[in-house]
Amino acid sequence: MSLSSKLIVVVYHSPYGHTAKVAHYIAEGAKQSELNVQLMDVEHIDWDVLDQAEAIVMGCPTYMGSISAAMKLFMEQSSKRWLARSWQGKLAAAFTNGGGLSGDKLAVLQQINLFAMQHGMLWTGLPLMPTGRSNADLNRMSSFLGLMTQSDNAPVDVTPPEGDLRTAVQFGQHIAHTVQRLN
């Protein structure tokens, strides 16, 4: 299978647009490789495409320290794939966005990580060292399990901040590079 036929799918839930914006930046970073990248809203899942992907990147907003209900429904609907071990050996990664600086985003990444481990997937985190704490800095929330971004309860046209979006691009690049190394 050639590199150009390999597929990364970014699956997300985004009721207000912030998480979708982050998903697009992750996809932008991954597309800089020779791999195919597809965005998929959890409201419109194509299970056949997910089954064919080399990597599934999952993201949702952080709501009350947990994943969104729509992301949970997606996870529960994957039970046939879990039983058949259809996603075993695929690469998995996660991202989350929230209004607060923390908001217990780590709990969301842990929930998605556990989901991926139950499917027998291989996990990749965010290996980017934090460069500071300003809105322009990379990995300003010092997350290593996955990508954390902040929308600060502001409109999607002005948030997440530049540093979070640049971090999302680098996260996408890292995921694509990892897929290339594994295949």
Extract the tokens encoding 57.
Answer: 């990147």
Tell me: pLDDT of 1 over 60.
no
CA distances 173 to 18, 146, 161, 177, Å, are 20, 13, 19, 6
| Annotated domain spans of the chain | 3-182
Give the pLDDT of residue 5.
83
- Nearest 10 degrees: CA dihedral of 44, 46, 49, 55? 50
Query: CA 90 to CA 28: how far, in whole Å?
Result: 21
The yes or no reply on domain 3-182 and CATH 3.10.20.600 is no
CA distances 95 to 48, 84, 127, 138, Å, are 23, 26, 13, 15
Block residue for tokens 């996603």:
87
The average pLDDT across 78-102 equals 96
SS3 78: coil
| pTM of this prediction exceeds 0.75 | yes
Give the pLDDT of residue 182.
94
